[in-house]
C-alpha cells in the first residue's frame, strides 16, 4: 500500500493492513490481544513490550570490542513463545526497538521475505566480555565475492546492494535500529523470496521457523515496538537538543513533557482493553518522534452512523496554543446535545497535519464523509478539507467569528457602532441583496473597506453568513441570533494550562458526563410528559415523536405563531403560492420592528419554504411556515418535515455493528476478523443478565457442535 514519504502508520497492538479507497491510509482494526498492557494489571503488563520514551540520539557506541563479519555471527534464536505469521505491515525504520538481537534479525528477515530479497549478517560487534553491542544486516546481494583462483569460479551473483539496517544495544538493554537503507540496486520480487536461504525454515531446538506461506493460518502480527520521543530524564522540557545541539523543530513533533508519551501509551492500552472496537492511529515523523494522534471509541463510531449529517471540527486548542493541542470532531444528537465523534492531537496547524488527521478520521468512519463541516476560519483548514472532503459543504463557525470582533475591530473609531452594524448585517438580513447592501454601507460609512480581517471575511461570506447557508442542513449547529452560542468540548473540559496527562486522566470523566446527559435526556423523553404551552395540533403531533429538548425549541415557534399577523397571498405561480407573513421582531437586542417574511407553499406536494431558512438551519419548521400551514387548514406537519434524527422512538444501540460488507470470504484474515467482531455483539448481549448468559452459552455450544460435525464430514 503506498504511503507518503516520511510518514508511517504505527499501532501499538495487533493490527492488520487493508487496502481502502483512500490509498493514503492504513486502517487499524483493533482488538484485545494477549500482550496488551494494562496500567492496572501487573499480570498483563509484564507481557507487553514497552515503548522507549527518551530523546537520546541513536549514535555510535565507543565501547572497546571487536567485530565479526559474516553469517557465522548469527547465533541461535532465543526461545520465545509464539510464531510470527503473515506479513510485516511496516518497513524497518530508524528508532524501532526490539527485545533482542534475534528479534531484529527475525523482523528484517520477514520484511525481506515480503519484499523479495534475502538477508545476511554483514557485521556483528562484540565487547571484550563477548557481549554483542552492534550489528548490521544486509541484502544478500550486498558486497562482492572474493576473487577465487579456482579453475571454474562460480559466477558473481552479488551486486554491491546498499540495502541494510544497522542496530545497537541501548542502555535500556533493548536493540534500536540506528540506520536504514531501503533502496536496492537490483530488481526484487516477492515471488522470488522463497528461493533465498534466509527464508528457509530454521531447524528445531530453540530456533523459530519462518512460517510465512500458510494460507490456512490466521495471519497475526507480532509488532515490535517503536521509539516515541519524549523529554523524560534530565533533558530540558522546552528546548530539546540532538547530537548537533540544534533545537527540536516542534512544528514536526508533539511537544511532550516528561511522562506524556508513557501516559499516551497507557491511555490507548487501557481504552483498547475496555473497548474491542477502539480505533486509533499514530503518526511518527522521519526521526521516529510522535507527531500526530487520532482516536475514537466504539460509541463515537456508532454515533456517527446516526448523526453524520453535520460535523464540527474544533481547533480552538491548537490555535490558542493550549498545552494540549486537541482537535475534536463533534455532531449533535437527538436531544440537540453535543455528541463526540473523535479526537486528535497534532503537532502544528499545517496542511499536512490536518490532511493526515482528516484522512485518519475518514478511515475510522469507513469512508463516509458528512454532508456539512463547520470549522474556524483558517486557510490551511479550508485547503485540507477541500482535499479530503471535496463534496462536503464547508461552513465557518459564526460564533468564533463574532468572538474575534473585539480583537480585530476593538481599536477602531466608533467601535460600538461598527459592531452593531456588523451584527445587523449578519443576523438580520433575510436576502442576499440585503446583506450586500448593509455590508457596503458599513464599510463605506466607517472607512474600513481596506481592513484586512473584514476583507477576508467578506471573501468567505458564503461560508459563514446565514443568508448564504439556507440550502445547507445544519441541525442547529449554526447560530441564527446574536445571543446563541454553540459550546465546544474544549471549552467544557480544558483550559489553556491543562497538561496532557491531566487531560488523559479526566478524559473518561468527560465522556461519561456526555453519556449521562444523553441517558438522562432519553429517560426524560420516555417517561415525562411534555408540558404543552398551546393547544396547537402541530405541537401535539410532534410530542408523540420528538424528544423533549427538541419539543421545547419547537414550542417557541408554535408560540411565535401568535405574533405573526396580516398573512396575505402575493401571487400564484403554477402550484406554488407565495405568501407574506408580518411579524414584529426584536432587533439590536432591545428595539422591535415590523418585518415581512416571504413563504412559498405548494399544496399538491405539501411543501412549505420560508425565507428565514429555519428548517435547514435548525431542523424544524419556523413560525411563519406553521402559520401558512395553519391558514390552509393543515392539522399535521407534512412527513418530509419530521426528521428521524430528532425522534425518541428510534432505538439507538451504541454497540458497533460489524456488517459483512467488504468481507472477502476467501481471505482467512477477513474471515477471522469478521467472526471475531460478530462474536463481540453476542458477548455484549449475553452479559446483560443470567438468562441471556445461559442462552448465549447454549447457542455457542450448538454452533461448535455443528462446526465439528461439518469438519468430520469433510474428512
Q: Express each pLDDT in 132-144 by its tens digit.
A: 999 999 998 888 7
Q: What is the pLDDT of residues 74-132, one digit of tens each?
A: 333 322 333 333 444 478 888 788 888 988 998 888 888 888 888 989 889 988 888 99
Higher pLDDT, 5 or 555: 555
Residues 542 and 625 placed together within one structural domain of the fold: yes
684 and 618 share one domain:
no
Shared-domain flag, residues 556 and 615: yes
Higher pLDDT, 37 or 560: 560
Question: Domains in the chain: how many in total?
Answer: 2
**Same domain? 615 vs 550:** yes
User: How confident is the model over 292-336, as pLDDT tens digits?
Assistant: 999 999 999 999 999 999 999 999 999 889 999 999 999 999 999
Bridge partner list, 609: 600
- DSSP single-letter state for residue 261: H
Give Cα 332 to chain centroid, integer Å.
17
DSSP 531-567: --SS--HHHHHHHTTB-HHHHHHHHHHHHHGGGEEEE
What does the pLDDT read at residue 532? 73
Of 170, 172, 87, 102, the C-alpha closest to 137 is: 102
**Are residues 636 and 674 located together in one domain of the fold?**
no
Q: Which range (269-273, 417-421, 432-436, 474-478) has the least confidence?
A: 269-273
Q: What's the CA gap between 45 and 40, in Å, rounded?
A: 8
d(CA 319, CA 56): 30
Give the integer Cα–Cα distance in Å for 89 and 223: 9
Return d(Cα 527, Cα 515) in angstroms, integer: 18
pLDDT band at 16; cut points 50, 70, 90: very low
Whether residue 560 is found in the same domain as residue 632: yes
Q: What percent of the chain has pLDDT over 90?
A: 42
Selection from 173, 174, 145, 171 nearest residue 158 by Cα:
145
For residue 626, what pLDDT is reported? 96
Do residue 593 and residue 548 come from a single domain? Answer: yes
Does 693 lie in the same domain as 633? no
Summarised one tens digit per residue, pLDDT across range 486-505 is 777 777 778 889 999 999 98
Residue 626, in any domain of the structure: yes
Backbone angles phi, psi at 301, to 5 degrees: -65, -40
Within this chain, do residues 638 and 586 fall inside the same structural domain, yes or no?
yes
pLDDT band, residue 546 (cuts 50/70/90): very high
Closest alpha carbon to 364 in 662, 28, 675, 32: 28
Residue 551 lies in a domain: yes
Return the pLDDT at 215: 34
pLDDT at 466: 96
- Give me the chain's average pLDDT, please: 77
More confident residue, 597 or 277: 597
240 within some domain: no
Res 55 pLDDT > 50 = no
Residue 641 and residue 694 in one domain: no
- Flag whether 455 is in a domain: no
Q: CA 139, CA 165: separation in Å to the nearest integer?
A: 9
What CA–CA distance (Å, rounded) separates 682 from 678?
A: 7
pLDDT band for position 290 (cuts 50, 70, 90): confident
Cα(86)–Cα(104) distance, rounded to whole angstroms?
17
pLDDT band of residue 566 (cuts 50, 70, 90) is confident
Residues 6+ apart with CB under 8 A from 428: 587
The residue written with cell numbers 546498499 in the block is 162
In this prediction, residue 359 carries a pLDDT of 93
Domain residues for 602? 537-646
Looking at the domain assignment, is residue 603 inside a domain?
Answer: yes
The answer to whether residue 501 sits within a structural domain is: no
Dump pLDDT digits (tens) for 191-240. 654 567 777 643 332 333 343 333 333 333 333 333 433 433 333 333 33
Is residue 468's pLDDT more than 90? yes
Average pLDDT of the residues in 699-710: 86
Structural domain includes residue 262: no
Instruction: State pLDDT tens for residues 606-652.
Output: 999 999 999 999 999 999 999 999 999 999 999 999 999 999 988 88
Residue 692 inside a domain? The answer is yes
User: Structure pTM?
Assistant: 0.63
Same domain, residue pair 550 and 641 = yes
The DSSP code for 309 is S
- What pLDDT does residue 535 have? 76
Domain's final residue, options 616, 646, 676: 646
Stretch among 241-255, 262-276, 340-354, 357-371 having the lowest mean pLDDT = 241-255
Residues 503-524: tens digit of each pLDDT: 998 898 888 888 889 989 998 9
Cβ-contact 223, 14 below 8 angstroms: yes
More confident residue, 242 or 696: 696
One domain, residues 708 and 622: no
Amino acid at each position: 500500500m503506498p504511503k507518503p514519504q516520511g510518514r508511517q502508520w504505527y499501532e501499538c497492538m495487533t493490527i492488520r493492513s487493508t487496502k481502502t479507497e483512500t490509498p493514503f491510509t492504513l486502517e487499524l482494526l483493533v482488538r484485545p490481544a494477549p500482550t496488551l498492557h494494562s496500567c492496572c494489571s501487573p499480570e498483563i503488563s509484564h507481557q507487553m513490550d514497552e515503548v522507549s520514551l527518551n530523546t537520546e540520539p541513536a549514535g555510535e557506541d565507543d565501547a572497546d570490542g571487536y567485530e565479526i563479519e559474516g553469517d557465522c555471527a548469527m547465533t541461535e534464536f532465543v526461545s520465545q513463545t509464539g510464531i510470527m505469521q503473515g506479513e510485516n505491515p511496516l518497513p524497518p525504520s530508524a528508532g524501532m526497538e526490539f527485545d533482542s538481537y534475534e528479534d531484529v534479525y527475525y523482523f528484517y528477515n520477514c520484511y525481506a521475505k515480503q519484499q523479495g530479497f534475502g538477508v545476511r549478517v554483514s557485521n556483528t560487534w562484540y565487547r571484550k566480555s563477548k557481549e554483542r553491542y552492534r550489528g548490521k544486516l544486509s541484502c544478500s546481494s550486498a558486497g562482492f565475492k572474493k576473487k577465487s583462483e579456482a579453475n571454474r569460479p562460480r559466477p558473481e551473483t552479488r551486486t554491491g546492494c546498499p540495502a541494510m539496517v544497522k542496530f545497537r544495544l541501548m542502555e535500556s538493554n533493548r536493540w534500536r535500529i540506528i540506520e536504514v537503507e531501503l533502496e536496492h540496486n537490483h530488481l526484487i520480487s516477492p515471488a522470488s523470496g522463497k528461493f533465498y536461504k534466509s527464508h528457509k525454515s530454521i531447524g528445531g531446538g530453540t530456533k523459530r521457523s519462518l512460517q510465512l506461506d500458510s494460507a490456512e493460518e490466521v495471519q497475526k502480527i507480532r509488532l515490535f515496538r517503536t521509539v516515541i520521543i519524549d523529554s523524560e530524564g534530565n533533558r530540558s522540557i522546552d528546548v530539546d537538543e540532538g547530537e548537533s545541539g540544534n533545537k527540536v523543530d516542534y512544528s514536526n513533533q508533539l511537544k511532550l513533557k516528561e511522562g506524556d508519551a508513557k501516559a499516551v501509551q497507557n491511555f490507548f492500552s487501557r481504552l483498547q482493553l475496555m473497548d474491542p472496537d477502539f480505533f486509533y492511529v499514530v503518526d511518527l515523523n522521519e526521526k521516529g518522534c510522535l507527531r500526530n494522534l487520532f482516536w475514537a471509541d466504539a460509541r463515537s463510531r456508532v454515533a456517527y452512523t446516526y448523526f453524520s449529517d453535520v460535523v464540527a471540527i474544533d481547533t480552538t486548542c491548537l490555535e490558542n496554543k493550549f498545552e494540549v493541542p486537541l482537535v475534536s470532531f463533534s455532531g449533535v444528537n437527538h436531544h440537540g446535545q453535543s455528541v463526540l465523534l473523535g479526537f486528535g492531537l497534532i503537532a502544528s496547524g499545517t496542511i499536512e497535519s490536518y490532511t493526515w488527521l482528516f484522512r485518519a478520521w475518514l478511515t475510522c468512519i469507513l469512508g463516509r464523509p458528512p454532508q456539512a463541516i463547520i470549522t474556524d476560519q483558517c486557510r490551511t483548514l479550508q485547503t485540507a478539507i477541500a482535499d479530503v472532503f471535496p463534496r462536503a459543504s464547508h461552513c465557518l463557525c459564526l460564533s468564533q467569528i463574532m468572538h474575534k470582533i473585539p480583537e480585530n475591530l476593538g481599536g477602531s473609531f466608533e467601535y460600538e457602532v461598527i459592531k452593531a452594524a456588523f451584527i445587523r448585517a449578519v443576523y438580520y438580513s433575510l436576502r442576499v441583496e440585503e446583506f450586500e447592501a448593509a455590508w457596503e454601507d458599513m464599510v463605506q460609512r466607517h472607512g474600513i473597506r481596506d481592513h484586512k480581517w473584514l476583507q477576508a471575511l467578506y471573501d468567505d461570506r458564503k461560508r459563514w453568513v446565514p443568508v448564504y447557508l439556507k440550502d445547507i442542513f445544519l441541525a442547529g449547529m449554526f447560530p441564527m441570533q446574536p445571543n446563541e452560542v454553540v459550546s465546544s468540548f474544549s471549552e467544557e473540559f480544558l483550559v489553556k494550562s491543562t497538561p496532557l496527562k491531566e487531560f488523559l486522566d479526566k478524559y473518561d470523566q468527560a465522556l461519561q458526563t456526555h453519556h449521562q446527559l444523553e441517558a438522562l435526556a432519553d429517560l426524560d423523553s420516555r417517561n415525562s410528559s411534555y408540558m404543552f404551552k398551546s393547544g396547537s395540533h402541530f405541537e401535539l403531533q410532534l410530542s408523540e415523536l420528538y424528544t423533549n429538548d427538541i419539543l421545547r425549541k419547537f414550542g417557541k415557534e408554535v408560540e411565535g405563531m401568535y405574533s405573526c399577523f396580516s398573512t396575505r397571498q402575493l401571487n400564484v405561480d403554477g402550484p406554488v403560492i407565495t405568501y407574506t407573513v408580518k411579524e414584529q421582531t426584536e432587533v439590536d437586542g432591545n428595539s422591535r420592528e415590523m418585518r415581512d417574511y416571504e413563504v412559498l407553499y405548494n399544496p399538491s406536494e405539501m411543501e412549505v419554504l420560508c425565507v428565514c431558512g429555519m428548517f435547514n438551519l435548525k431542523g424544524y419548521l419556523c413560525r411563519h411556515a406553521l402559520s401558512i400551514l395553519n391558514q390552509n387548514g393543515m392539522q399535521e406537519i407534512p412527513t418530509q418535515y419530521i426528521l428521524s434524527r430528532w425522534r425518541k422512538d428510534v432505538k439507538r444501540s451504541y454497540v458497533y455493528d460489524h456488517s459483512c460488507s467488504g468481507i472477502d470470504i476467501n481471505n482467512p484474515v477477513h474471515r477471522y476478523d469478521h467472526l471475531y467482531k460478530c462474536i463481540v455483539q453476542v458477548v455484549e448481549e449475553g452479559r446483560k443478565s443470567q438468562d441471556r448468559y445461559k442462552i448465549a452459552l447454549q447457542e455457542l455450544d450448538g454452533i461448535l457442535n455443528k462446526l465439528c460435525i461439518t469438519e468430520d464430514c469433510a474428512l
